[in-house]
Structure 1
Amino acid sequence: MARRPLGQDELLKISEHCAGKFLRSGETAPTVAELAEDSGLSERSFYRYFPTKEDSLRPLFDHGNRFYAQAIDEQPAGTDFLSALEAAFIVTLERGRDRVSVQIMDVVLKSPALRQIWLEASYQAFDLLRAPLARLLGSTPGSLETTVACGQAVVFMLSGLERMTIHGLDAGEAARAVAHATANLTEHHARRRPAGTAGKEPRP
């Protein structure tokens, strides 16, 4: 009789075990055998779900992205875009389970292979973010406005996690810093570029 495939919650627990192993291993990346043993799997079963050892962290990243999208969707109607991202970031990162994500980011940022998995998960989060951001903006999920908003929401999360990991900020401090920088950047360039000039060559 074939074994039942592992569900989303089971894969998340395995991913958390693997994240813990990566953290405990420090500068030396754990082997697949070590990750499988820590997770209670055989190496064969491990490879059934994770093509590489770095892929074992993907369920943890996906979980954080799902909760981020949910937190955005729960923002009250009329909330402005940056305030919604700030609040959703704080809610997502202050959850107990997602502290593992923050702790593991130091390892992720130092590993090109792990960064690739993290960035792939972040890009695919666009599909999760479209509906809640379209609702927030009063737009449609497939519009360019919503697509740009998805990109900004992902960058907000990446930038905030970087501030927490590298600079030691808490979730609220990181969210406020990123929101402030984003608002300043937008305001500064809005003053410098007249409407309708995007993509045009400057006159000599």
Structure 2
Amino acid sequence: MRSPRPYSLQAGPGVPSLTERRKAATQLDIARAACELFATHGPDGTTAEDIAHRAGVALRTFYRYFRNKQEAVAPLLAGGGAEWRNRLAEESPGTPLAEALERAVTRSLTGPVALSEGLNWTRSLLRAAEDDPALRAVWYRVNQDSEEGLVPILTHLAGPAASPLQIRLLAAAATDAIRVSLEVWSTTDTPPSGPDSPADLAVRSLRELTRGMAILA
């Protein structure tokens, strides 16, 4: 999953302040450090002190942002969901939802950051999570947050004819299509692009999970 897009350097309505941008950058540095250590030593072989040292921050800074070492990877995992929601939000109301969803998924999983860094981080973390319930819980929470973030975007795109139930079901299906695809891909050594890549698997999964949904008709 992709890292969050860089923030605008100019503050304004809805744009994070300089302090907020610095905070986000520090959190992402800590997340990358945690991911590197988890990939090398596993969660059990990594401490919060190790992560703070690798990230170049004080231990108290680590705990200012995260409750435990597993929570530290959340910014990396959440970045991909934020990116694909941003892509979906760029679609125009009235665009067929199936088309909009597939385009957003494909663009977010084949972008330069996803292919160069994000997907490899995600694969490493999902492999580490196989034997770490706390790390899996972070992954599931990130996906739940992403699903909830989809609801207002889908509501806007679908228009007033769509019911809240239809919107919620579509948000759940779309989120699970990406989640399951990434989990399956992470168990393989398949490259992040091409056949059986996350984008390929996600589009196929999305079609399977949403087949027959009235909202897409």
What is the TM-score of this pair, normalised by structure 2? 0.72
Shift in CA distance, 68/108, structure 1 to aligned 2, threshold 3 Å: farther
Deviation at 1:77, TM superposition (A): 4.6
The answer to whether the aligner puts 1:176 opposite 2:199 as a matched pair is no
Q: Is the 8 A contact 2:155 2:162 kept in 1?
A: yes
Q: Is the 8 A contact 1:89 1:171 kept in 2?
A: no
C-alpha separation between the residues in 2 aligned to 1:63 and 1:142? 29
Task: Tell me what 2:57 maps to.
Answer: 41
AA in 1 matched with 2:172:
G
Unaligned runs of 5+ in 1: 191-204
Q: Is the 8 A contact 2:43 2:70 kept in 1?
A: no
What is the TM-score of this pair, normalised by structure 1? 0.76
C-alpha separation between the residues in 2 aligned to 1:37 and 1:141? 50
Q: Is the 8 A contact 1:139 1:146 kept in 2?
A: no
Q: Which moved more, 1:80-89 or 1:46-55?
A: 80-89
Residue in structure 1 matching 2:104, options 54, 73, 88: 88
Q: Is the 8 A contact 1:140 1:146 kept in 2?
A: no
Deviation at 1:170, TM superposition (A): 1.1
Deviation at 1:39, TM superposition (A): 0.8
Q: Is the 8 A contact 1:85 1:156 kept in 2?
A: no
Shift in CA distance, 153/58, structure 1 to aligned 2, threshold 3 Å: same
Point out 4+ residue stretches in structure 1 off by more than 6 angstroms: none
C-alpha separation between the residues in 1 aligned to 2:44 and 2:89? 39
The answer to whether the aligner puts 1:98 opposite 2:118 as a matched pair is yes
Deviation at 1:35, TM superposition (A): 0.8
C-alpha separation between the residues in 2 aligned to 1:173 and 1:60? 21
Deviation at 1:60, TM superposition (A): 1.3
Shift in CA distance, 52/27, structure 1 to aligned 2, threshold 3 Å: closer
Task: Tell me what 2:137 maps to.
Answer: 116
Q: Percent identity, aligned pairs only?
A: 22
Higher relative contact order (CA 8 A, sep 6+): 2
AA in 2 matched with 1:162:
E
The answer to whether the aligner puts 1:58 opposite 2:79 as a matched pair is no
The answer to whether the aligner puts 1:13 opposite 2:33 as a matched pair is no
Shift in CA distance, 49/154, structure 1 to aligned 2, threshold 3 Å: same
SS in 2 for 1:98: helix
Question: Root-mean-square deviation (CA), in Å?
Answer: 2.8
Deviation at 1:63, TM superposition (A): 1.8
Q: Is the 8 A contact 1:133 1:146 kept in 2?
A: yes
Shift in CA distance, 12/141, structure 1 to aligned 2, threshold 3 Å: farther
Shift in CA distance, 154/109, structure 1 to aligned 2, threshold 3 Å: farther
Deviation at 1:32, TM superposition (A): 1.0
Q: Is the 8 A contact 2:43 2:132 kept in 1?
A: no
